Amino acid sequence: MTDTKPTLPERPYFSSGPCAKPPVWTPEKLDTASLGRSHRSKIGKARLQYCIDLMRELLELPETHRIGIVPGSDTGAFEMAMWTMLGARPVTTLAWESFGSGWVTDAVKQLKVDPTVMEAPYGEIPDLSQVDWGSDVLFTWNGTTSGARVPNADWIAADREGLSFADATSAVFAQSIDWTKIDVATFSWQKVLGGEGAHGVLILGPRAVERLESYTPAWPLPKVFRLTKGGKLVEGVFKGETINTPSMLAVEDAILALEWGKEIGGAAALRARADANAAALNKIVEEREWLGHLVADPSIRSNTSVCLTVAGADADFIKKFAKLLEDEGAAYDIAGYRDAPAGLRIWCGATVNTADIEALGPWLDWAYTQLSA
Protein backbone atom coordinates (compact mmCIF):
# COMPACT_ATOMS: atom_id res chain seq x y z
CA MET A 1 0.00 0.00 0.00
CA THR A 2 1.31 3.45 -0.88
CA ASP A 3 0.63 6.84 0.66
CA THR A 4 1.82 8.72 -2.43
CA LYS A 5 -1.08 10.54 -4.04
CA PRO A 6 -1.25 11.98 -7.56
CA THR A 7 -2.20 15.52 -8.51
CA LEU A 8 -5.94 16.06 -8.29
CA PRO A 9 -8.01 16.81 -11.39
CA GLU A 10 -8.97 20.47 -11.43
CA ARG A 11 -12.60 19.54 -12.00
CA PRO A 12 -13.29 15.99 -10.74
CA TYR A 13 -16.84 15.91 -12.12
CA PHE A 14 -17.34 12.70 -14.09
CA SER A 15 -21.01 12.00 -13.34
CA SER A 16 -23.15 10.70 -16.21
CA GLY A 17 -26.04 12.95 -15.28
CA PRO A 18 -26.37 15.60 -14.19
CA CYS A 19 -22.96 16.07 -15.79
CA ALA A 20 -20.14 18.55 -15.32
CA LYS A 21 -20.98 22.20 -15.92
CA PRO A 22 -19.21 23.93 -18.81
CA PRO A 23 -15.65 24.89 -17.81
CA VAL A 24 -16.54 28.61 -17.85
CA TRP A 25 -19.61 28.21 -15.64
CA THR A 26 -20.18 30.31 -12.53
CA PRO A 27 -23.57 31.28 -11.08
CA GLU A 28 -22.70 34.95 -11.56
CA LYS A 29 -22.68 34.44 -15.34
CA LEU A 30 -26.36 33.50 -15.45
CA ASP A 31 -28.68 36.14 -16.89
CA THR A 32 -31.18 36.76 -14.10
CA ALA A 33 -33.47 39.27 -15.82
CA SER A 34 -36.14 36.63 -16.46
CA LEU A 35 -36.11 35.27 -12.91
CA GLY A 36 -39.12 36.13 -10.81
CA ARG A 37 -41.06 36.84 -13.98
CA SER A 38 -43.84 34.87 -15.64
CA HIS A 39 -42.67 32.49 -18.33
CA ARG A 40 -45.53 33.98 -20.36
CA SER A 41 -44.19 37.51 -20.01
CA LYS A 42 -42.49 39.12 -23.00
CA ILE A 43 -39.05 38.46 -21.55
CA GLY A 44 -39.96 34.92 -20.47
CA LYS A 45 -41.17 33.89 -23.92
CA ALA A 46 -38.21 35.62 -25.55
CA ARG A 47 -35.68 33.71 -23.43
CA LEU A 48 -37.43 30.40 -24.06
CA GLN A 49 -37.43 31.08 -27.81
CA TYR A 50 -33.78 32.11 -27.66
CA CYS A 51 -32.93 28.82 -25.93
CA ILE A 52 -34.78 26.92 -28.68
CA ASP A 53 -32.99 28.90 -31.38
CA LEU A 54 -29.59 28.17 -29.84
CA MET A 55 -30.37 24.46 -29.60
CA ARG A 56 -31.43 24.42 -33.27
CA GLU A 57 -28.20 26.16 -34.27
CA LEU A 58 -25.86 23.94 -32.27
CA LEU A 59 -27.68 20.75 -33.25
CA GLU A 60 -27.58 21.82 -36.90
CA LEU A 61 -31.28 20.99 -36.97
CA PRO A 62 -33.04 21.59 -40.31
CA GLU A 63 -36.04 23.91 -40.52
CA THR A 64 -38.19 20.85 -41.30
CA HIS A 65 -37.89 19.79 -37.65
CA ARG A 66 -39.62 21.45 -34.71
CA ILE A 67 -37.97 21.67 -31.29
CA GLY A 68 -39.73 22.28 -27.99
CA ILE A 69 -39.09 22.33 -24.25
CA VAL A 70 -41.31 19.88 -22.34
CA PRO A 71 -41.64 18.61 -18.74
CA GLY A 72 -40.12 15.50 -17.21
CA SER A 73 -36.55 15.51 -18.52
CA ASP A 74 -35.66 13.06 -21.31
CA THR A 75 -37.97 10.44 -19.83
CA GLY A 76 -40.96 12.76 -20.00
CA ALA A 77 -40.13 13.79 -23.55
CA PHE A 78 -39.77 10.23 -24.78
CA GLU A 79 -42.90 9.01 -23.03
CA MET A 80 -44.78 11.99 -24.46
CA ALA A 81 -43.79 10.81 -27.93
CA MET A 82 -44.72 7.19 -27.20
CA TRP A 83 -48.10 7.97 -25.66
CA THR A 84 -49.15 10.36 -28.43
CA MET A 85 -47.91 8.51 -31.53
CA LEU A 86 -47.69 4.76 -30.94
CA GLY A 87 -50.52 2.42 -31.84
CA ALA A 88 -51.01 3.55 -35.43
CA ARG A 89 -48.87 0.71 -36.84
CA PRO A 90 -46.68 -2.16 -35.55
CA VAL A 91 -43.89 -1.28 -33.11
CA THR A 92 -40.31 -2.51 -32.77
CA THR A 93 -38.35 -1.73 -29.61
CA LEU A 94 -34.55 -2.01 -29.36
CA ALA A 95 -32.91 -2.40 -25.96
CA TRP A 96 -29.33 -2.93 -24.86
CA GLU A 97 -29.32 -1.11 -21.53
CA SER A 98 -31.68 0.01 -18.76
CA PHE A 99 -33.39 3.01 -20.36
CA GLY A 100 -34.08 1.18 -23.61
CA SER A 101 -35.46 -1.65 -21.49
CA GLY A 102 -37.71 0.91 -19.83
CA TRP A 103 -39.23 1.85 -23.17
CA VAL A 104 -39.85 -1.86 -23.80
CA THR A 105 -41.70 -2.08 -20.49
CA ASP A 106 -43.82 0.95 -21.38
CA ALA A 107 -44.69 -0.47 -24.78
CA VAL A 108 -45.49 -3.95 -23.46
CA LYS A 109 -47.12 -3.36 -20.08
CA GLN A 110 -48.49 0.19 -20.22
CA LEU A 111 -49.47 0.86 -23.82
CA LYS A 112 -49.82 -2.85 -24.63
CA VAL A 113 -48.95 -2.39 -28.31
CA ASP A 114 -47.41 -5.89 -28.50
CA PRO A 115 -44.05 -4.75 -29.87
CA THR A 116 -41.35 -6.80 -31.51
CA VAL A 117 -38.53 -6.69 -28.96
CA MET A 118 -34.89 -6.80 -30.08
CA GLU A 119 -32.47 -7.01 -27.17
CA ALA A 120 -28.72 -7.30 -26.63
CA PRO A 121 -26.68 -7.65 -23.43
CA TYR A 122 -24.78 -4.77 -21.87
CA GLY A 123 -21.81 -3.87 -24.07
CA GLU A 124 -23.48 -4.94 -27.33
CA ILE A 125 -26.32 -3.79 -29.59
CA PRO A 126 -28.86 -5.83 -31.59
CA ASP A 127 -28.38 -6.67 -35.27
CA LEU A 128 -29.61 -3.40 -36.79
CA SER A 129 -29.90 -4.95 -40.26
CA GLN A 130 -32.84 -7.00 -38.99
CA VAL A 131 -34.98 -4.00 -38.02
CA ASP A 132 -38.33 -3.87 -39.84
CA TRP A 133 -38.96 -0.29 -40.97
CA GLY A 134 -42.55 -1.11 -41.74
CA SER A 135 -42.96 -0.57 -38.00
CA ASP A 136 -42.35 2.34 -35.67
CA VAL A 137 -38.89 1.82 -34.16
CA LEU A 138 -37.82 2.92 -30.67
CA PHE A 139 -34.14 3.00 -29.68
CA THR A 140 -31.53 4.78 -27.57
CA TRP A 141 -28.93 6.40 -29.82
CA ASN A 142 -26.37 6.20 -27.02
CA GLY A 143 -27.00 3.79 -24.16
CA THR A 144 -26.02 5.86 -21.13
CA THR A 145 -25.87 2.91 -18.75
CA SER A 146 -23.95 0.53 -21.03
CA GLY A 147 -21.76 2.83 -23.11
CA ALA A 148 -22.95 1.23 -26.37
CA ARG A 149 -24.28 3.41 -29.17
CA VAL A 150 -25.48 3.01 -32.73
CA PRO A 151 -22.53 3.68 -35.08
CA ASN A 152 -24.47 6.05 -37.38
CA ALA A 153 -27.87 6.44 -39.04
CA ASP A 154 -27.11 4.32 -42.10
CA TRP A 155 -29.27 1.47 -40.76
CA ILE A 156 -32.37 3.69 -40.69
CA ALA A 157 -34.28 3.28 -43.96
CA ALA A 158 -34.71 6.46 -45.97
CA ASP A 159 -38.00 5.09 -47.36
CA ARG A 160 -39.25 3.85 -43.98
CA GLU A 161 -42.99 3.50 -43.47
CA GLY A 162 -42.76 3.65 -39.68
CA LEU A 163 -41.37 6.44 -37.54
CA SER A 164 -37.91 6.47 -35.97
CA PHE A 165 -37.95 7.38 -32.26
CA ALA A 166 -34.46 8.17 -30.92
CA ASP A 167 -33.77 8.68 -27.24
CA ALA A 168 -30.66 10.75 -27.94
CA THR A 169 -30.00 12.25 -24.52
CA SER A 170 -26.34 11.21 -24.22
CA ALA A 171 -25.63 11.67 -27.93
CA VAL A 172 -26.81 15.15 -28.96
CA PHE A 173 -24.04 17.77 -29.05
CA ALA A 174 -21.41 14.96 -28.87
CA GLN A 175 -22.21 12.67 -31.80
CA SER A 176 -23.17 13.38 -35.40
CA ILE A 177 -26.85 12.73 -36.10
CA ASP A 178 -28.40 12.58 -39.57
CA TRP A 179 -31.65 14.41 -38.92
CA THR A 180 -33.16 13.25 -42.22
CA LYS A 181 -33.34 9.81 -40.62
CA ILE A 182 -34.93 10.97 -37.36
CA ASP A 183 -38.67 11.51 -36.96
CA VAL A 184 -38.66 11.91 -33.17
CA ALA A 185 -35.72 12.69 -30.90
CA THR A 186 -35.53 13.53 -27.22
CA PHE A 187 -32.86 14.66 -24.79
CA SER A 188 -32.31 16.64 -21.61
CA TRP A 189 -29.96 19.49 -20.80
CA GLN A 190 -28.38 17.59 -17.91
CA LYS A 191 -26.19 15.40 -20.14
CA VAL A 192 -23.81 16.84 -22.76
CA LEU A 193 -24.65 20.47 -21.89
CA GLY A 194 -24.15 19.94 -18.16
CA GLY A 195 -27.50 21.62 -17.52
CA GLU A 196 -30.10 21.12 -14.84
CA GLY A 197 -32.63 18.29 -14.68
CA ALA A 198 -36.44 18.25 -14.89
CA HIS A 199 -36.77 19.66 -18.43
CA GLY A 200 -36.85 17.61 -21.60
CA VAL A 201 -36.46 18.57 -25.24
CA LEU A 202 -38.68 17.09 -27.94
CA ILE A 203 -37.72 17.23 -31.62
CA LEU A 204 -40.32 16.36 -34.26
CA GLY A 205 -39.72 15.82 -37.95
CA PRO A 206 -42.51 16.38 -40.49
CA ARG A 207 -43.56 12.72 -40.51
CA ALA A 208 -44.06 12.81 -36.74
CA VAL A 209 -46.20 15.94 -37.06
CA GLU A 210 -48.27 14.19 -39.73
CA ARG A 211 -48.80 11.26 -37.35
CA LEU A 212 -49.90 13.55 -34.53
CA GLU A 213 -52.41 15.35 -36.74
CA SER A 214 -53.85 12.23 -38.35
CA TYR A 215 -53.95 9.74 -35.48
CA THR A 216 -55.68 9.69 -32.11
CA PRO A 217 -54.46 7.02 -29.67
CA ALA A 218 -56.94 4.73 -27.97
CA TRP A 219 -55.78 5.64 -24.46
CA PRO A 220 -56.40 8.89 -22.57
CA LEU A 221 -53.60 11.47 -22.48
CA PRO A 222 -52.68 13.59 -19.47
CA LYS A 223 -52.54 17.33 -20.05
CA VAL A 224 -48.73 17.50 -20.10
CA PHE A 225 -48.65 15.01 -23.02
CA ARG A 226 -51.17 16.77 -25.28
CA LEU A 227 -49.47 18.14 -28.38
CA THR A 228 -52.54 18.68 -30.58
CA LYS A 229 -55.80 20.56 -30.34
CA GLY A 230 -58.63 20.13 -32.80
CA GLY A 231 -56.51 17.76 -34.85
CA LYS A 232 -53.69 20.30 -35.31
CA LEU A 233 -50.28 20.55 -33.70
CA VAL A 234 -50.08 23.07 -30.87
CA GLU A 235 -47.37 25.16 -32.51
CA GLY A 236 -46.82 27.30 -29.44
CA VAL A 237 -45.04 24.43 -27.70
CA PHE A 238 -42.28 24.83 -30.27
CA LYS A 239 -42.11 28.60 -29.93
CA GLY A 240 -41.40 28.85 -26.22
CA GLU A 241 -45.01 28.54 -25.02
CA THR A 242 -44.40 25.55 -22.75
CA ILE A 243 -47.16 23.14 -21.72
CA ASN A 244 -46.44 23.72 -18.03
CA THR A 245 -44.37 26.22 -16.06
CA PRO A 246 -40.64 25.81 -16.71
CA SER A 247 -37.83 26.83 -14.39
CA MET A 248 -36.44 29.99 -15.91
CA LEU A 249 -33.31 29.44 -13.81
CA ALA A 250 -32.79 26.09 -15.54
CA VAL A 251 -33.47 27.75 -18.91
CA GLU A 252 -30.85 30.42 -18.23
CA ASP A 253 -28.41 27.71 -17.17
CA ALA A 254 -28.98 25.91 -20.48
CA ILE A 255 -28.56 29.17 -22.40
CA LEU A 256 -25.19 29.75 -20.75
CA ALA A 257 -24.02 26.29 -21.84
CA LEU A 258 -25.35 26.76 -25.37
CA GLU A 259 -23.68 30.16 -25.71
CA TRP A 260 -20.41 28.61 -24.53
CA GLY A 261 -20.78 25.86 -27.12
CA LYS A 262 -21.37 28.44 -29.83
CA GLU A 263 -18.38 30.51 -28.72
CA ILE A 264 -15.93 27.60 -28.88
CA GLY A 265 -16.96 26.60 -32.40
CA GLY A 266 -20.41 25.05 -32.31
CA ALA A 267 -21.36 21.43 -32.90
CA ALA A 268 -18.04 20.41 -34.42
CA ALA A 269 -16.11 21.77 -31.45
CA LEU A 270 -18.39 20.06 -28.93
CA ARG A 271 -18.04 16.74 -30.73
CA ALA A 272 -14.27 17.18 -30.90
CA ARG A 273 -14.05 17.77 -27.14
CA ALA A 274 -16.01 14.59 -26.41
CA ASP A 275 -13.86 12.62 -28.87
CA ALA A 276 -10.67 13.94 -27.26
CA ASN A 277 -11.89 13.00 -23.80
CA ALA A 278 -12.86 9.50 -24.90
CA ALA A 279 -9.48 9.06 -26.60
CA ALA A 280 -7.67 10.15 -23.42
CA LEU A 281 -9.67 7.65 -21.37
CA ASN A 282 -9.05 4.91 -23.92
CA LYS A 283 -5.30 5.53 -23.57
CA ILE A 284 -5.63 5.06 -19.82
CA VAL A 285 -7.47 1.78 -20.37
CA GLU A 286 -4.97 0.47 -22.92
CA GLU A 287 -2.06 1.12 -20.55
CA ARG A 288 -3.59 -0.94 -17.71
CA GLU A 289 -4.16 -4.69 -17.77
CA TRP A 290 -6.73 -4.49 -14.99
CA LEU A 291 -8.98 -2.03 -16.88
CA GLY A 292 -11.11 -2.83 -19.91
CA HIS A 293 -14.02 -1.53 -21.97
CA LEU A 294 -17.46 -2.99 -21.37
CA VAL A 295 -18.08 -2.25 -25.07
CA ALA A 296 -15.42 -4.27 -26.88
CA ASP A 297 -16.27 -2.99 -30.38
CA PRO A 298 -14.88 0.56 -30.82
CA SER A 299 -17.37 1.28 -33.63
CA ILE A 300 -20.28 1.17 -31.18
CA ARG A 301 -18.44 2.53 -28.11
CA SER A 302 -19.76 5.77 -26.64
CA ASN A 303 -17.64 8.90 -26.53
CA THR A 304 -19.70 10.25 -23.62
CA SER A 305 -20.84 7.59 -21.14
CA VAL A 306 -17.78 5.32 -21.26
CA CYS A 307 -18.24 2.14 -19.22
CA LEU A 308 -15.21 0.23 -17.96
CA THR A 309 -14.60 -3.22 -16.49
CA VAL A 310 -12.25 -3.77 -13.54
CA ALA A 311 -10.51 -7.13 -13.26
CA GLY A 312 -11.95 -9.23 -10.44
CA ALA A 313 -14.30 -6.50 -9.25
CA ASP A 314 -17.77 -7.06 -7.86
CA ALA A 315 -20.36 -4.45 -6.88
CA ASP A 316 -18.92 -4.08 -3.37
CA PHE A 317 -15.40 -3.49 -4.73
CA ILE A 318 -16.69 -0.82 -7.15
CA LYS A 319 -18.63 0.89 -4.37
CA LYS A 320 -15.48 1.11 -2.23
CA PHE A 321 -13.41 2.18 -5.26
CA ALA A 322 -15.74 5.06 -6.07
CA LYS A 323 -15.97 6.14 -2.42
CA LEU A 324 -12.19 6.24 -2.06
CA LEU A 325 -11.91 8.63 -4.98
CA GLU A 326 -14.85 10.74 -3.86
CA ASP A 327 -13.39 11.08 -0.36
CA GLU A 328 -10.12 12.28 -1.88
CA GLY A 329 -11.87 14.77 -4.17
CA ALA A 330 -10.34 12.98 -7.15
CA ALA A 331 -13.50 11.76 -8.94
CA TYR A 332 -17.18 12.05 -8.23
CA ASP A 333 -19.93 9.57 -9.19
CA ILE A 334 -17.92 7.11 -11.29
CA ALA A 335 -19.50 3.83 -10.17
CA GLY A 336 -21.36 2.06 -12.97
CA TYR A 337 -25.15 2.16 -13.16
CA ARG A 338 -26.87 -0.04 -10.60
CA ASP A 339 -28.37 -2.41 -13.22
CA ALA A 340 -25.19 -2.66 -15.29
CA PRO A 341 -22.35 -5.17 -14.77
CA ALA A 342 -20.03 -4.10 -11.94
CA GLY A 343 -17.61 -1.51 -13.25
CA LEU A 344 -16.82 2.17 -13.64
CA ARG A 345 -18.56 4.79 -15.77
CA ILE A 346 -16.63 7.90 -16.72
CA TRP A 347 -18.41 10.80 -18.40
CA CYS A 348 -16.41 12.15 -21.33
CA GLY A 349 -18.88 14.67 -22.72
CA ALA A 350 -17.95 18.10 -24.02
CA THR A 351 -18.14 19.91 -20.68
CA VAL A 352 -15.27 17.81 -19.28
CA ASN A 353 -11.70 19.00 -19.85
CA THR A 354 -9.29 16.45 -21.33
CA ALA A 355 -6.64 17.38 -18.77
CA ASP A 356 -8.96 16.16 -16.02
CA ILE A 357 -9.47 12.82 -17.76
CA GLU A 358 -5.68 12.49 -18.03
CA ALA A 359 -5.27 13.37 -14.35
CA LEU A 360 -7.81 10.70 -13.44
CA GLY A 361 -5.60 7.83 -14.66
CA PRO A 362 -3.08 7.88 -11.77
CA TRP A 363 -5.94 8.15 -9.30
CA LEU A 364 -7.53 5.00 -10.74
CA ASP A 365 -4.17 3.29 -10.14
CA TRP A 366 -4.05 4.63 -6.60
CA ALA A 367 -7.53 3.40 -5.70
CA TYR A 368 -6.95 0.01 -7.29
CA THR A 369 -3.70 -0.40 -5.33
CA GLN A 370 -5.38 0.62 -2.07
CA LEU A 371 -8.14 -1.96 -2.46
CA SER A 372 -5.97 -4.73 -3.88
CA ALA A 373 -3.29 -4.61 -1.17
Q: Based on the domain organization, do 112 and 257 belong to the same domain?
A: yes
Task: Encode pLDDT of 233-256 as tens digits.
Answer: 999 999 998 988 999 999 999 999
**What is the rounded CA–CA span in Å between residue 348 and residue 314?**
24
253 in a structural domain: yes
Mean pLDDT, to the nearest integer, of 143-160? Answer: 98
178 in a structural domain: yes
Residue 1: which pLDDT band, with cuts at 50, 70 and 90?
very low
Task: Encode pLDDT of 71-121 as tens digits.
Answer: 999 999 999 999 999 999 999 999 999 999 999 999 999 999 999 999 999
Q: Based on the domain organization, do 324 and 362 belong to the same domain?
A: yes
Give me the residues paired with residue 140 across strands. Answer: 167
Task: Encode pLDDT of 16-28 as tens digits.
Answer: 999 999 999 999 9
The continuous run of DSSP H or E covering 280 comes out as helix 266-286
Question: Which of 241, 261, 281 is the endpoint of a domain?
Answer: 261
Q: Based on the domain organization, do 61 and 170 belong to the same domain?
A: yes
For residue 40, what pLDDT is reported?
85
**Residue 214 in contact with residue 230, Cβ under 8 Å?**
no
Q: Based on the domain organization, do 145 and 225 belong to the same domain?
A: yes
For residue 373, what pLDDT is reported?
82
20 in a structural domain: no
Is the pLDDT assigned to residue 343 strictly greater than 60? Answer: yes
Q: Based on the domain organization, do 140 and 251 belong to the same domain?
A: yes
Task: Encode pLDDT of 172-185 as tens digits.
Answer: 999 999 999 999 99
Q: Based on the domain organization, do 277 and 359 belong to the same domain?
A: yes
Q: What are the residues whose beta carbons fall under 8 Å from the beta carbon of 200, sequence distance 6 or more?
A: 69, 70, 71, 72, 73, 74, 75, 76, 77, 78, 80, 186, 187, 188
Question: Which of 261, 296, 322 is the endpoint of a domain?
Answer: 261
Q: Based on the domain organization, do 238 and 289 belong to the same domain?
A: no
For residue 187, what pLDDT is reported?
98
Question: Which of 223, 245, 261 is the endpoint of a domain?
Answer: 261
Q: Residue 174: phi, psi to the nearest 5? A: -125, -20
Mean pLDDT of the residues in the chain: 96
Q: Based on the domain organization, do 243 and 271 belong to the same domain?
A: no
For residue 284, give the CATH number of its domain: 3.90.1150.10
Q: Based on the domain organization, do 100 and 171 belong to the same domain?
A: yes
Q: Based on the domain organization, do 38 and 151 belong to the same domain?
A: yes
Is the pLDDT assigned to residue 205 strictly greater than 70? Answer: yes
Q: Based on the domain organization, do 240 and 334 belong to the same domain?
A: no
Total number of domains in the chain: 2
Angle at 359 between CA 358 and CA 360, to 5 degrees: 90
**What is the rounded CA–CA span in Å between residue 371 and residue 373?**
6
Is the pLDDT assigned to residue 129 strictly greater than 70? Answer: yes
For residue 138, give the CATH number of its domain: 3.40.640.10
Q: What are the residues whose beta carbons fall under 8 Å from the beta carbon of 222, sequence distance 6 or more?
A: none
For residue 244, what pLDDT is reported?
87
Residue 188: which pLDDT band, with cuts at 50, 70 and 90?
very high
Q: Based on the domain organization, do 137 and 250 belong to the same domain?
A: yes
208 in a structural domain: yes
In the chain, % of residues over pLDDT 90: 97
Which range marks the domain in which residue 32 is found?
27-261
6 in a structural domain: no
289 in a structural domain: yes
247 in a structural domain: yes
21 in a structural domain: no
Sign of CA dihedral 54, 58, 59, 64: positive
